[in-house]
Amino acid sequence: MSHRSAIIADIDNTLYNFVDFFGPAFRAMLHAISAKTGIAEHLLTESFRTVYSKYQSLEYPFSVQELPILREQNFTEERLRDIVYAARVAFGQSRKNRLRLYPGVRETLVWLKQQGYILVAYSDGAYGHVERRLIRLGVGDLFSRIVAWGPRLGELERPSDPISERIERWFVDAEPRVNPSQNNYLGSQDLKPNPQLLRKLIQDLKLDVEHSWLIGDSQTKDLRPAQEVGLQDVWARYGRIFDPQNWDTLVAISPWREPIIKTETTGVAEFAPTYIIDTFADLRNLVPTYQPSLFES
């Protein structure tokens, strides 16, 4: 491969079904907190949305500790730890039962790497969650770079209580296990959709945009910015297949702006993707090949 080419892959609903794992996991967590505290689930839901809106992410790792409705109860630190533990167990068990790569993802990523493509994981999720999830799913070692949400030093408010003081360390002091010198932390102002971030990534990696591809399920958050910067954009149409109840759960707590929610819900955007795939493995029939297969005749 004479040019420097990359596959920039969205994570959620591109490599795995985020909606259908997160929706049930969140509801399981909600049930556990409500059972521990007696607080109605609809009130807890509103409180979660307040926290997620503050940090512009559904995967803020200390959301339970910061729930305004729990803080109003003046629980002791021990009681709060008990609530957090119950929430973590409920969420984690549900996630374990549902989080799976889409069929053919790992095999296709291996093939793309063999072709000489630089593999970049690109997500709005918290860096710690994204990295651990990729490792848990067995594909962390395939990516050369992870671009994910991790507020810069001083960006997060830090309340004085001991639990919340861990917040900034989660992002700033973490030691990435996937290529630690090749990661990018996104500040809240850098979250998708963000063509400027993609331009910086292209510059940093010295990419040939005509031979580099961005794959994602969101036409608004992934594909429109890719088109703006000249990357080859690929719509993972299969990522729009999920349980409507789980989507409604995400919308109820989402920090996303209303136009994005409307577009993502209907699947209709004001522009057309350049390419469309119905499985991640379809990339093998789409992107150019640069290394002959051992088994090709």
Contact partners, residue 8, CB within 8 Å, separation at least 6: 120, 122, 198, 201, 212, 213, 214, 215, 226, 231
Q: What DSSP line would sit under 142-165, residue for residue?
A: G-SEEEEE-PPTTTS---SSTTTT
φ and ψ at residue 146, rounded to 5 degrees: -120, 130
Residues facing residue 10 across a β-bridge: 122
Contacts of 142 (CB under 8 A, 6+ apart): 106, 109, 110, 113, 119
Q: Which residues pair with 273 in a beta bridge?
A: none
pLDDT of residue 271: 72
pLDDT at 91: 97
Q: What whole-number distance in Å separates Cα of residue 50 and Cα of residue 167?
A: 17
C-beta separation of 13 from 242 below 8 A: yes
**Per the structure block, which two tokens stand in for 137?**
């799913």
pLDDT at 137: 96
Q: What is the pLDDT of residue 120?
A: 94
Please give the chain's pLDDT, 297 residues, in tens. Answer: 546 899 999 999 999 999 999 999 999 999 999 999 999 999 999 999 999 988 777 887 789 999 999 999 989 989 999 999 999 999 999 999 999 999 999 999 999 999 999 999 998 877 778 888 999 999 999 999 988 876 544 445 544 443 344 444 444 444 455 554 455 655 555 677 888 889 988 998 899 999 999 999 999 889 999 999 999 999 999 999 999 999 999 999 987 655 455 556 555 556 789 999 999 999 999 998 876 544 443
Any idea how long the chain is?
A: 297
CA 211, CA 114: separation in Å to the nearest integer?
Answer: 16
Find all residues with CB under 8 Å of 170, minimum gap 6, and list them. Answer: 61, 62, 126, 128
Q: Which two tokens stand for residue 19?
A: 């909606």
d(C-alpha 94, C-alpha 111), whole Å: 31
Kind and range of the H or E element at 269? none
Question: Which sequence spans correspond to the domains of the chain?
Answer: 6-16+101-241+257-285, 21-98
| Partners of 233 in beta bridges | 214
* Distance in angstroms (rounded) separating the CA atoms of residues 63 and 48: 7
Reported pTM: 0.83
Residue with tokens 């799913």: 137
- Positive or negative torsion for Cα 163, 165, 171, 176: negative
Q: What pLDDT does 140 receive? A: 93
What is the pLDDT, as a whole number, of residue 131? 86
**What class has domain 6-16+101-241+257-285?**
alpha beta
